[in-house]
Chain A
Amino acid sequence: MHNWEGRKSLRNAAPLVAVLFFFATCSTPTGLEPVAGVEGTLTFQGTWPDSIKGAALVALSSFPADVSQAANLLVNYSTPAPSGTDSIEHFIQLLPGTYYLLTLGLTIEPAVFATKLDSFQTSGNLPVVLLDTDLATISQPVTILPQTIHPLDRTVWF
């Protein structure tokens, strides 16, 4: 009786072992992994002009001659800060590569900018103005490495 029970338990366990072996030999799928990008704080000094409804840090694929004509260079942008903000944390997710990072003022409401961005990019024009004044800094490209966050703080003086 005892031997029979032992054989029974072995027989019961066999399919489970087979299934476990099958699972163990399957390759483990890859889920989400750490991303790359730029992170830091945007600080605004002075009084926001009435014409500026918001501001965002943008990543461009090359340095533009005129930011309002830079729609086709726009790779990504941070969540816009509404007018009147003193400081805001920013994050721009990017693939590894080299980018130019500029702080732009939005001349339309941030929500409208986000909603209509596709049509702006089709037309090639962006309703923005350049807020950075240190051209030497912003004309230097930033290199983004895989799974690495590049720290970047910017201050805008109105």
Chain B
Amino acid sequence: MVLSDCHHSKIGFVLSLFLLLGSTVYGQGKGSISGQVVEAKTSDPLPGVNILVQNTFLGTTTGPDGYFQVTGLSPGNYTITVSIIGYRRETISDIPVVADTDWHVLVALNQDVLSSPQVVVTSSRKTQDILESPVTVSVISARQIQEQAAINLVDILPYEPGISTVNGQLNIRGASGYTLGAGSRSLILLDGIPLLGSAAGNVTWQIVPTSEIEQVEIVKAGGSALYGSSAMGGVVNIITRSGTYRPETRLRLKSGAYSNPAFEQWNWRDGRGYFYTAELSHARSVAAHNGWFRVQRQHDDGYNELDWYDAVNLTGKVKLNFGTHHSASVYANFLADNGGLSSQWRSAAHPFEAPVGSEQDRIDGTKFNLNAMYNYIYSPKVVLKTRGALYQVHWQDHGSNTDHSSERKLYSDYQLSASWTERLNTIAGLTFQHASIDADIFGNHNSLSVAFYFLAQQQLSQKAMLSLGSRWEQYSVDGKFLDKMITPQFAFNYRPARGLAFRTSVGWGFRVPTIAEMFTRSQLSIFKVEPNPDLTSESSISYEVGSTWVVPATGKILDQMKLDVAVFQNDYDNLIEPTPDANGIIHFENITKALVRGAEAGVVTSLLNQSLTLSSSYTYLDPVALDDSDTVRDTLAYRYRHQWVSTIGTRVYGVSVKLEYRYASRMEQTQLFQEDPRTGQDRRVPIHVWNAGLGYSKNNWDFLVRLENLLQYYYVELERNMGPERNLSLAINYRF
């Protein structure tokens, strides 16, 4: 597409204005759309509803009386989408905006408490319908989180297609395996800002405010074009909710107990282990601004001797709206925690006990996360988003190890989005990230990355869209240049019919080595871990073809059905793996050339006026390590070849019943300890986990009883670490 000189001069003018952060400039001859959003059954006004004007960056939310107004629209026909969690999204097309005139609409939303969210923001760094996404995106809604009474988000992620975890380390489509907690091949974002620690490059799941999540978007296709290092194995974007327009206070309690082991030989404590989480949150608005604050106290005796955990977590978010064109938000989270520290069980004979001599091992620390965002909508076609973040981590080991670490990461991102025509949108941005680490185990180091990214999305027709993007990034450690990468991405989306979409993409990815991988000096059982400062970046190419089909209601039985299929291939080079040398000394080394191929298929359906919901998904992976001649050398460690997840739930008269099943085939390869058929040592088994929930909701109260791992099935994900024991919990949620 050739841009006119007029466009060039306009953009130059816009950029200079951004530097001054001037006030909005709207000429005369603009029109507006206003209206009211009400609840369809009761006609009550709905506050906090998101209004988006398609093909522009303009949008707003409804006020306490359900009213909204979007101004500054050039004359023409517009389409708006009206959405809020818990209601079916409505789209109103062909709204004729005339100069100096306000067009009024009345929108009635129907409740749709069970459907999954249909709007995503992560795959293209902008709001778009999930069917328009150029790559596969899986979405976890706030209701799904509530139905599983999850305290830690990572506990429910393995119930999503293609996702597995090993000892808390996330694995999307087999990208990560397990890297001793050092380095993640999946990028975790909180409201679009990276949440990975600066030393080990891992995520502290406890810092995620699970109960304040609006939705979680999981971009499964690997590629670093938009988000850089670690996104080579996919992106998880945790989107927190905004404050409510009506003051709302929530009290949440979850408490429960672990079963004693099914085998007498494994009993290790008198009585049972208990856990509880108590939360109090308050949300409200003041004038056009809104926010929420939450305090959480958590205690867990743990299901094994060193799995105990205590934490206090304070979290808050304020969203400031300065008219239609300026908005800002500030999010802060402080976590102080203390917990047992174990790398493996005492022995296979005592799988729930701590190794002798490490019974008192524990780690305590604090984590502080401050995110700030500012959006400036210069015009309906141009918007600037700036993001800044500070992430500080302190931890101290006690017991047989006395390591400590202090880490600080500063992040900033400047993103300019422009809608050049109704069919061409571009996004360009600059990102800076600086980290400094002072630790016994890693030494004193700092790192700096600078990146520029670009994405263009061209509507080829009403049904087809082409996305082209790329990222250039340079990375240095301790002031010395380490690596620079260019990672393009190409994607094509085709929607031949309403509710049916096909997508295909290819994306290049990379991951820079973490400080932990380069500089760790430690002792792991009888093995020493020594530094390797010569590590270079991992790289990948990811290919994907997929389709989503949303089947509308047919007759009286089927309400809606969503089918999703995808096949994918990820080629990896220079993978960093912990490798023992001939002297038994472990270094992280760039060694593995790998290929992960696979397919996933999933179906979600609701039946009988949403009183019955069913979901099922299957993922197949073929993860292999290759030699230099591309011959298969081995199966990659810590991947499951087959995964199957199914849920069935019913909701009648406020009573809900849900049954979940998760299967993962026997892990074929591990790294630390190999299975020995002569002794039965380090035996690995498939995973069969059943969970059941019984809930009841009435007025402002929600009750949920959950039984997790109800068949008390025993397995290991990471060698010599027993999977979670059966536990029974009661969660109570009260809003007032």
Contacts and interface: CB of A to CB of B under 8 A. Distances in A.
Interface of A: 8-9, 11-13, 15-16, 19-20, 23, 28-37, 39, 54, 75-76, 79-80, 82, 88-89, 91-95, 109-116, 147, 149
Contacts of A92: 679
A79 B525 contact: yes
| Dominant SS among interface residues on chain A | mixed
B481 interface: no
Contact of A111 (B526, B607, B678): B526
A93 B676 CA distance: 10
A112 B583 contact: yes
| Dominant SS among interface residues on chain B | loop
A116 B584 CA distance: 8
A31 B526 contact: no
Contacts of B347: 39, 91, 93
A42 B527 CA distance: 21
Interface in B678-736: 678-681, 683, 685-686, 688, 690, 711, 713-716, 722
27 contacts: A12-B650, A13-B652, A29-B686, A30-B685, A31-B714, A31-B715, A34-B263, A34-B349, A35-B681, A37-B349, A75-B678, A76-B678, A76-B679, A79-B525, A79-B526, A89-B346, A89-B356, A91-B346, A93-B347, A93-B348, A94-B679, A94-B680, A95-B678, A111-B528, A111-B585, A114-B584, A115-B582
A17 B263 CA distance: 31
A80 B526 contact: yes
Contact of B348 (A35, A109, A114): A35
A16 B349 contact: no
B265 interface: yes
B500 to A, nearest CB: 27
Contact of B526 (A15, A93, A110): A110
B612 interface: yes
B583 A111 contact: yes
Contact of B527 (A15, A23, A91, A111): A111
Contacts of A33: 263, 714
A32 B711 contact: no
Given A32-B715, A111-B526, A111-B585, A12 B612 contact: yes
B653 to A, nearest CB: 7
Contacts of A11: 608
Contacts of B680: 35-36, 93-95
B711 to A, nearest CB: 6
B611 interface: yes
A93 B581 CA distance: 26
B713 A93 contact: no
Given A114-B526, A115-B582, A37 B348 contact: yes
A71 to B, nearest CB: 14
B715 A147 contact: no
B657 interface: yes
B688 A31 contact: yes
Nearest to B265: A34
B314 interface: no
B583 A12 contact: no
Contacts of A80: 526
Given A11-B608, A35-B681, A149-B349, 11 more contacts: A15-B648, A19-B648, A20-B659, A31-B685, A32-B685, A34-B263, A35-B348, A75-B678, A93-B347, A111-B527, A114-B527
B98 to A, nearest CB: 49
A15 B653 contact: no
A82 B526 contact: yes
B533 interface: no
Contacts of A23: 659, 661, 690
A32 B683 contact: yes
Interface in B402-430: none
Given A32-B722, A93-B348, A109-B584, A16 B657 contact: yes
Contact of A12 (B348, B582, B652, B686): B652
A66 B582 CA distance: 26
A116 to B, nearest CB: 7
A89 B679 CA distance: 19
A76 B678 CA distance: 9
Contacts of B584: 109-115
B168 interface: no
Interface in B632-687: 648, 650, 652-653, 657, 659, 661, 676, 678-681, 683, 685-686
A95 B679 contact: yes
Contact of A32 (B528, B585, B659, B716): B716
